[in-house]
Amino acid sequence: MSAENNAENTNSLGIHEGHSHVQSDAQCRAGLIYPLAIFLICAEKHSNFRIHEGYSANENDRWMRWFPKYDRPPGPPFGPAMKNGFRYYRAFEYPSVELDIKNRTANIQWKHR
């Protein structure tokens, strides 16, 4: 990412908010995969996931949207996350999670109930 692009997505507090200009549900879903994967890799009993769209309640062009997937519990994990270099894997009753922290990519596959 260029410094110019980075400055464009930084608020007055210097916090990067590149996610704040998402225009569609598809872009929002894609933007949520990585943070949700991080949560699922690290989740323990009684953990909760909360995603928010930024630091200002006065702006209405943020990316926060509610998707039915948020209402689906992952079910119990089949064990702790497995690590291979910068890649992590974890399986739950319903999703399987792959996370690559070096490349900042993730994949979550949900099984049908």
In a domain, 110, yes or no: yes
In a domain, 33, yes or no: yes
In a domain, 106, yes or no: yes
pLDDT band with cut points at 50, 70 and 90 for residue 101: very high
Domain containing 78: what range? 22-44+63-113
In a domain, 28, yes or no: yes
Which residues does 69 contact at the CB level (< 8 Å), separation at least 6? Answer: 110
In a domain, 1, yes or no: no
* pLDDT above 60: residue 43: yes
Task: Provide the number of structural domains found in the chain.
Answer: 1
pTM above 0.75, yes or no: no
* pLDDT above 90: residue 19: no
pLDDT in tens, 75-99: 999 999 999 999 999 999 999 999 9
Separation of CA 1 from chain center: 19
In a domain, 52, yes or no: no
